[in-house]
Every structure is written in structure tokens, then in C-alpha cells.
Amino acid sequence: MALALKTLTSGRMIVASAYPDPPFDLIEDGVSTGFDVALMRTIAARLGLTLQPVRYAGDDFNDIFDGLAKGQYDAVISGTTITPERAEVALFSQPYLTFNQGIAVNRERTPNVASFADLRGLTAGIQSGNTSDFVAKRLVAEGVIAGIRYYPYHGIATALDDLEAGRIGLVIKLHPVIAWLVKDRPRLAVPLEAPTHEQLGIAFAKSNQELCDAVDDALAALRSDGEFARLSAHWFPAKS
């Protein structure tokens, strides 16, 4: 089956991710790792291919899909929520995980946050192109938060720095990611989740149904033989 698969470079699957997005995608000692990377490395091996991870460094995450149409990479995996808008420009695998958005706050400046009402008057930090923007815009429309400050997608560390310094009042991001990112920032906490139930998928060029189908088959096999559960338990122990 691998010989018939259409990939940009024979024998390889070039996969783009927006690092850092732990525990999905991160660099440790110069090596790409994380759940998504480990999953794609395992899938590629099942298909007789070698994984070639590449970093997307654009300001807006939604622009990552342009690289599929332009033939820069075979797939995108980066804790990527499947949305109707994204499905218009890319094919998606079957969903492989589901998560909510998490809300990080400064525990010293706002120590009593226990509900969305406690966010009143605060400004949210959001990465451009992140699906957390839907949550932030809804909170603005409902009069819960005061506004939104946007950061380039690769500027998540700056957003968290601003949250620590009190320049913004919250940061919204997919729960496992924001929970990971605040582990070493004792002033910050993630007391709330927005119940968005976002389904994550692997994206492919619209013209590459064959590769999408092959990855779906490999995903199904990994679920059947327990390998998917083992990877998930390693990277998302709280979800296991």
C-alpha cells in the first residue's frame, strides 16, 4: 500500500506542526516530539514511510493550511480542531481526540476565579487563528470580558508573560496545552474550562484523499491494537 501512496517525497511523509504546542508538538534536545509527532511517526511507519516533521512559523495558524495546497507538506497535525471553515480548504482524518478550551488566569491578581462571571472586566490574550478566539468573542458579546488582545501564533510565551505581569487578565487555549504551559509559571493557574468539545484531526490537501484514507485506516488499526491508548496514556495521563 505504501508504494501507491501519493507523498511529496518518495518514502517520506512531510508533516507540519506549529511548535511549541505541548503536549502535542514540542522540541526536546533539538528533536521533534509530543503526542502528535509520536502518533504520526507510528502511522508513517505503518504505511512504510519515514516521518519528516517541519515547523510552521506563521503568525496566523489558519495560514498553515495554505502549505498543503502549495505542496509544501503532506499533512498538518498540531492539536488541530476540525471546523467547517478549515474543512473547506483541507481534508481531515477522522477525529482522534476531543478536548475543551482552558482558561488561564493570574492566581495572584485574580485568586478567586471559579466561574466565567469572575472574569468580568478582564482582557483575554488569544493567538491569531486559534479556535479559542470563538470562546473569547462569545465572552465579549455576552459582556463577560472587556476585550481581546491578539498575539501571533508563535507568541504564546509573550501572552503568558503579559498575563504574569498583569497586562492581560486571561489566556484561552486548548486545555491540555495551556495546562502544560503554565506548569513552570507558579503565578498562573487554569481554573476553568469552556465546554467546546473540540474534535482534533489531521489535515491533508484536498487532492490527497488517498493519503487521508490510508491514515484513517492506520488510526483505526492503532486503536484496535492498543497502541493509540498507550500513546495517549503517556502524553495525557489525566485523560486516561
Q: Which segments of the chain have a pLDDT < 50? A: 1-3, 240
Check residue 119 and give its pLDDT. 98
- Between the alpha carbon of residue 67 and those of residues 20, 26, 64, 107, the distances in Å are 18, 20, 6, 39
185: buried, middle or exposed (CB in 10 Å: 19+, 13-18, 0-12)?
middle
Check residue 239 and give its pLDDT. 56
How far, rounded to the nearest angstrom, does the alpha carbon of residue 90 sit from its chain's CA centroid?
Answer: 16
Q: Which domains are present in the chain?
A: 2-96+201-239 (3.40.190.10), 99-197 (3.40.190.10)
Check residue 2 and give its pLDDT. 40
Check residue 4 and give its pLDDT. 61
Residue 128 near residue 151 (C-beta atoms within 8 A): yes
Task: Look at the block and give the residue holding cell 485568586.
Answer: 111
Tell me which residue of 119, 124, 239, 226 sits closest to 177, measured CA to CA: 239
Task: Look at the block and give the residue holding cell 491508548.
Answer: 229
Task: Look at the block and give the residue holding cell 472574569.
Answer: 119
Residue 188 near residue 110 (C-beta atoms within 8 A): no
Check residue 216 and give its pLDDT. 98
